[in-house]
Structure 1
Amino acid sequence: MVAATLRLPEKAPKDIVLVYKYTGSTIPLETAKEMSLEIDGTKVDCPNSICKYLAGQAHHELLGSNKDEQAQVEEWLTYATSGLRTVAKKDVIAALEKKLDAHLSQNTFFVANRLTLVDLVIFGILHAYTKNMKVTACPNVMRWFDLIQNLVVREHKLTEDFSIVEMNLDDVPEPVIAAPAKKDDKKRGAATKEDAKAAPAKEAAKADVAAKGDKKDGKKKEKKEKKEKKPAAAPAPESDQPVVSRLDIRVGYIRNCRKHEGADSLYVEEIDLGDGEGVYRTIVSGLVRWYPLEEMQNRWVLCLTNLKPASMRGIKSEGMVLCATAPDGSKVELLAPVDTSKVKPGDRVFFEGMEGEPEKILPPKKKYWETVQPDFKTKDDCIACFGDKPFLIRTQSGETVQARAPTVQGGSIK
């Protein structure tokens, strides 16, 4: 058995504390002047190496489920050190508002479509900068931050070490749409968003011109009163529709599958989801490690179909195939209907007593998928469930069919 001891100073790096507590590490923790992890007499003092070792003890999925994800995790961890841990405060804020916000504008998490070590590390680092994080400057970072603090901190009862940051994501400003120019506007010039800062100077210049005109003409010009802005409409109240019913999970049939030309770990599937005769959706999946290409052809699957389309290495993916992952990360298996003879592409999944109309596109800001996904599991009989409610497929005959994984028991579904 490997002997290991983690030594941390009293004011320990927040990211390492978060990884240690989130993973439920049993490695003995001691207080010391300097940070180090001693493994069988060998000292490790690199924060990234310590975090990876902690995650690798029991949560291998945090390091990436395939080579492509693992490479992305490494890349972001390297950036966490060079771009966040070791730079001045102003550079961290600049990174928040540019690099990180731009990346998260297209991604729910930093790597893949799930929590990884990168999210834990960056969240731990940024927790000290919450006073500098403004919704108007980095809205996508704030949405991600709120997701992680609920998914990791609140759910795992870590609020004693990481206080919950209250934020109102509804304050994200809407884009300014310029009104059509009127004839009078053309004469006096309308201020736009770009020249807003120069408006006072322009107004002063106009006043000066007007004063000179008055001397020449002997006429006084009347000032036009500014129109009062109408108050913004109150947001529509959130309905009490069950969140899980907003997901559009359908039966799909893979008509064709090929390797992604730009990523060795990805497949590109053409899937019939009942959108119309001969109409197939393109979905990109990181399943190369788990399934040979021939097993991906002509097979039944379940897909989440109303995610916002996202580019995966240059190919737009229009959904996600649902898989069950073994608790130890040793297997990933596609979900499928229990009886495929009774279903057709496009048949929808529902949960008894929790029905409702699915969203056309899941709004990323609402985090519907991230809210319910932790409760998607396979039971001991491999049947797919949401909590204690099985996935039920409503067939054309009105009969219901359940869904399952081939062999994964007690696995998460994503």
Structure 2
Amino acid sequence: MAAAILKLPENSATEVLLVYKYTKAESVANIETATDVSLEVSGEKYDGVTTICKYLASKTQPELLGDGKENQAEIEAWSSWALTAFKGVPSKELNAALQKLNEHLLGRTFLVGNQIFLADLIVFAHVHQISKNLRVKSTPNVLRWFDLIQNIVVIKNDLVKNFALLEINLDDVPEPEAPKKEKKGDKKADKKGAEKKDAEKKEEGGKKADKKDKKDKKEKKEKKEKKPAAPAEPEQPVFTRLDIRVGYIRKCEKHPDADSLYVEEIDCGDGEGVYRTIVSGLVKWYPVEEMQNRWVIVMANLKPASMRGIKSAGMVLCASAPDGSKVELLKPVDTSKVKPGDRIYIEGLEGEPEKQLPPKKKYFEAVQPDFNTKDDKIAYFQDKPFLIKTASGEPVKCEAATVQGGGIK
């Protein structure tokens, strides 16, 4: 029987309820209905939504709390921000909060780092309550993130009864654009400059030029509208759209501008003498000498992303212990039978990988929660093992060194 008692008011403190349900904290605390939210553990009382959420996560999925001072501080900041940004504020302030969130999520998958953290759960619970305010035109990045959390948290954990689904057509959500660099001064200065330029144009007879610009824009718009619809995507299992390969780390060194990151040069079978630069947050888990000349498993068709100024063209897959105590690189069980570039497949699933995964489709994020290791330390997708397609035709499995029953990311 759980030793703690979690007291929750009805139809409120939804962020606590979401964390409780997602982390399966039934073994940690029993829920009781009350007028105020609180947690009692062995006679000690915990108040405050963030404090309670952090306690539940620490006892069930500590990896949700982050693994370094930098992202822990970010998680704390976003969690605290959500408590004041969305509750009982006028619509003007609510829209401002959504715009802040939308700008932050430009080019990001999650709020902090490359995985789901406590901040995503807490902010999602608040945004869920005002989801009717989400619009494709004004908050496309929030919608994309919201749909991802909705899928991997609500749907995957059967929480639809507590958090009703919001229907989102991702085809209507535009791809995120890279933020444009301001060349001269701030936006206000640019605006004034533009106004001055316009005035000068008009004085010099620039009206004709303006009319021509409008005509060109109108013609471009008409052409765009007349563009035929793209053919429907062929149905295929999502896993097969991923390009997961065997890689070999030729060289590894510390990132010059980030203490927690390594920069690896990896042979992924892209061609003779062609190597990929991949950035990984593994400093905490491996000394640099253990990152040299070793076999790894690489997620190879993610969109390249800048990591503290260095473009990373992939991701090495690692198994994480359920309690967050270990993170281990996946590797082929028998390295004598593989070569860089050999593809990973799942028996019974057919389809060609995408050249590059379209970010808004969230293919990797949709299947990654089903990546796991079992008691045999072998890597699985659901209940089927990762298999390496070798030149000899004999499949080779992938494994972690010691992690059993862990997730893979």
Q: TM-score range by the shorter chain?
A: 0.7 to 0.9
Once the 2 structures are TM-superposed, how far is the Cα of residue 192 of structure 1 from its aligned partner?
8.1
Once the 2 structures are TM-superposed, how far is the Cα of residue 319 of structure 1 from its aligned partner?
0.8
Superposed CA deviations along residues 260-285 of structure 1, whole A, max 9, x for unmatched, are: 23222221111111222332211111
Partner of 2:107: 106
C-alpha separation in 2, matches of 1:378 and 1:53: 26
Once the 2 structures are TM-superposed, how far is the Cα of residue 303 of structure 1 from its aligned partner?
0.4
Q: Is the 8 A contact 1:242 1:354 kept in 2?
A: yes
Once the 2 structures are TM-superposed, how far is the Cα of residue 315 of structure 1 from its aligned partner?
2.0
Does residue 126 of structure 2 align to residue 125 of structure 1?
yes
Q: Is the 8 A contact 2:140 2:174 kept in 1?
A: no
Once the 2 structures are TM-superposed, how far is the Cα of residue 173 of structure 1 from its aligned partner?
5.4
Describe the shift of the 1:8–1:193 C-alpha distance in structure 2 as closer, same or farther (beyond 3 A): farther
Partner of 1:202: none
Alignment map for 1:5-20 (pairs within 5 Å) = 5-20=5-20
Describe the shift of the 1:72–1:188 C-alpha distance in structure 2 as closer, same or farther (beyond 3 A): closer
Q: Is the 8 A contact 1:249 1:302 kept in 2?
A: yes
Partner of 1:372: 367
- Counterpart selection for 1:191 from 180, 198, 214: 214
Partner of 1:220: none
Partner of 1:161: 162
Does residue 362 of structure 2 align to residue 360 of structure 1?
no
Moved more, 297-306 or 279-288: 279-288
Does residue 76 of structure 2 align to residue 81 of structure 1?
no
C-alpha separation in 1, matches of 2:263 and 2:210: 56
Give the secondary structure class of the aligned counterpart of 2:388: strand
Once the 2 structures are TM-superposed, how far is the Cα of residue 107 of structure 1 from its aligned partner?
1.5
- Counterpart selection for 1:298 from 293, 299, 314: 293
Partner of 1:276: 271
Describe the shift of the 1:253–1:166 C-alpha distance in structure 2 as closer, same or farther (beyond 3 A): same
Partner of 1:140: 141
RMSD between superposed Cα atoms in Å: 2.9
Describe the shift of the 1:228–1:313 C-alpha distance in structure 2 as closer, same or farther (beyond 3 A): closer
Q: Is the 8 A contact 2:249 2:291 kept in 1?
A: yes
Q: Which amino acid aligns with 1:385?
A: Y
C-alpha separation in 2, matches of 1:404 and 1:310: 27
C-alpha separation in 2, matches of 1:141 and 1:273: 34
Once the 2 structures are TM-superposed, how far is the Cα of residue 323 of structure 1 from its aligned partner?
0.8
C-alpha separation in 2, matches of 1:90 and 1:16: 26
Partner of 2:32: 30
C-alpha separation in 2, matches of 1:378 and 1:186: 64
Does residue 324 of structure 2 align to residue 329 of structure 1?
yes
- Counterpart selection for 2:396 from 398, 401, 407: 401
C-alpha separation in 1, matches of 2:174 and 2:342: 39
- Counterpart selection for 2:65 from 63, 66, 69: 63
Partner of 2:185: none
Q: Which amino acid aligns with 2:387?
A: L
Describe the shift of the 1:118–1:174 C-alpha distance in structure 2 as closer, same or farther (beyond 3 A): closer
Describe the shift of the 1:10–1:353 C-alpha distance in structure 2 as closer, same or farther (beyond 3 A): closer
Q: Which amino acid aligns with 1:191?
A: K
Partner of 1:204: none
C-alpha separation in 2, matches of 1:369 and 1:132: 28
Q: Is the 8 A contact 1:66 1:286 kept in 2?
A: no
Q: Is the 8 A contact 2:175 2:360 kept in 1?
A: no
Q: Which amino acid aligns with 1:25?
A: A
Q: Is the 8 A contact 1:2 1:39 kept in 2?
A: no
- Counterpart selection for 1:243 from 238, 241, 249: 238
How many pairs align? 376
TM score, norm. by length of structure 1: 0.83
Describe the shift of the 1:275–1:30 C-alpha distance in structure 2 as closer, same or farther (beyond 3 A): same
C-alpha separation in 2, matches of 1:253 and 1:44: 48
Q: Is the 8 A contact 1:250 1:305 kept in 2?
A: yes
C-alpha separation in 2, matches of 1:122 and 1:168: 21
Once the 2 structures are TM-superposed, how far is the Cα of residue 113 of structure 1 from its aligned partner?
2.1
Once the 2 structures are TM-superposed, how far is the Cα of residue 30 of structure 1 from its aligned partner?
2.6
C-alpha separation in 1, matches of 2:386 and 2:353: 15
Moved more, 102-111 or 333-342: 102-111
Q: Which amino acid aligns with 1:254?
A: I
Describe the shift of the 1:174–1:321 C-alpha distance in structure 2 as closer, same or farther (beyond 3 A): closer
Give the secondary structure class of the aligned counterpart of 1:269: strand
Describe the shift of the 1:230–1:185 C-alpha distance in structure 2 as closer, same or farther (beyond 3 A): farther
Once the 2 structures are TM-superposed, how far is the Cα of residue 21 of structure 1 from its aligned partner?
1.9
Q: Is the 8 A contact 1:2 1:40 kept in 2?
A: no
- Extract unaligned runs of 5+ from structure 2: 177-206
Q: Is the 8 A contact 1:10 1:31 kept in 2?
A: yes
C-alpha separation in 2, matches of 1:350 and 1:289: 30
Once the 2 structures are TM-superposed, how far is the Cα of residue 322 of structure 1 from its aligned partner?
0.5
Once the 2 structures are TM-superposed, how far is the Cα of residue 129 of structure 1 from its aligned partner?
1.2
Q: Percent identity?
A: 60
Moved more, 249-258 or 5-14: 5-14
Superposed CA deviations along residues 88-125 of structure 1, whole A, max 9, x for unmatched, are: 4322322322x222222212111232221111100001
Q: Is the 8 A contact 1:245 1:356 kept in 2?
A: yes
Q: Which amino acid aligns with 1:18?
A: L
Q: Which amino acid aligns with 1:335?
A: L
Once the 2 structures are TM-superposed, how far is the Cα of residue 156 of structure 1 from its aligned partner?
1.6
Partner of 2:190: none
Q: Which amino acid aligns with 2:319?
A: A
C-alpha separation in 1, matches of 2:175 and 2:115: 28
Describe the shift of the 1:388–1:19 C-alpha distance in structure 2 as closer, same or farther (beyond 3 A): closer
Partner of 2:74: 72
**Larger CA Rg, structure 1 vs 2:** 1
Describe the shift of the 1:342–1:120 C-alpha distance in structure 2 as closer, same or farther (beyond 3 A): same
Q: Which amino acid aligns with 1:14?
A: T
Give the secondary structure class of the aligned counterpart of 1:191: helix
